[in-house]
């Protein structure tokens, strides 16, 4: 079943036209640009401040009656630095990122720190 020669020429012409037409790259580039613009807009949005300031966390931990009842003791060493005694271990700790930046040998007591998390669980129990 061969096609009519004229019909075959038309089909081959259409086939060549499809092959010679470049893919719609402009549309893809536009989509990528739109996604990039949306991502940049999302990144540039201001991050809402956390309700947990270092001062608040320090106050809650160092004055907690529950922690004291669980044998946790905080003794102020200097401004922003505490000696924490817990389970017969002593730790020099701070609740302030700027103090930790200056003294990375002390423990930074914040979310993600295992000791902080353990004391937080003790308060919740």
pLDDT in tens, the chain (125 residues): 456 777 777 777 777 777 777 666 656 666 666 677 777 888 888 877 777 899 999 999 999 999 999 999 999 999 999 999 999 999 999 999 999 999 999 999 998 999 999 998 887 76
- The verdict on residue 49 lying in a domain is no
Task: Tell me which residue has tokens 């536009």.
Answer: 30
Number of domains comprising the chain = 2
SS3 content of the chain, % helix, strand, coil (to 5): 55, 15, 30
CA distances from 24 to 12, 18, 27, 28, 78 (A): 22, 12, 6, 7, 66
Do 105 and 81 fall within a single domain?
Answer: yes
CA distances from 79 to 12, 51, 111, 116 (A): 84, 22, 21, 19
Domain of 36 in residue numbering reads as 5-44
Do 87 and 29 fall within a single domain?
Answer: no
pTM for the predicted model, two decimal places: 0.59
SS3 52: coil
- The verdict on residue 34 lying in a domain is yes
Of 115, 94, 114, which is closest to residue 105 (Cα–Cα)? Answer: 94
Task: Tell me which residue has tokens 């086939």.
Answer: 15
Do 31 and 60 fall within a single domain?
Answer: no
- The verdict on residue 95 lying in a domain is yes
Do 73 and 117 fall within a single domain?
Answer: yes
Cβ 73 vs Cβ 61: under 8 Å: no
């Amino acid at each position: 079943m061969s096609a009519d020669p004229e019909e075959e020429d038309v089909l081959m012409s259409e086939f060549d036209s499809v092959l010679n037409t470049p893919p719609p790259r402009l549309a893809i580039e536009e989509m990528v640009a739109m996604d990039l613009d949306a991502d940049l807009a999302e990144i540039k949005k201001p991050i809402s401040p956390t309700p947990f300031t270092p001062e608040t966390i320090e106050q809650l931990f160092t004055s907690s009656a529950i922690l004291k009842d669980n044998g946790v003791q905080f003794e102020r060493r200097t401004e922003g630095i505490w000696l924490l005694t817990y389970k017969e271990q002593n730790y020099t700790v701070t609740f302030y990122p700027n103090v930790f930046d200056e003294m990375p040998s002390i423990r930074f007591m914040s979310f993600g720190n295992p000791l902080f998390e353990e004391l937080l669980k003790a308060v919740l129990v």
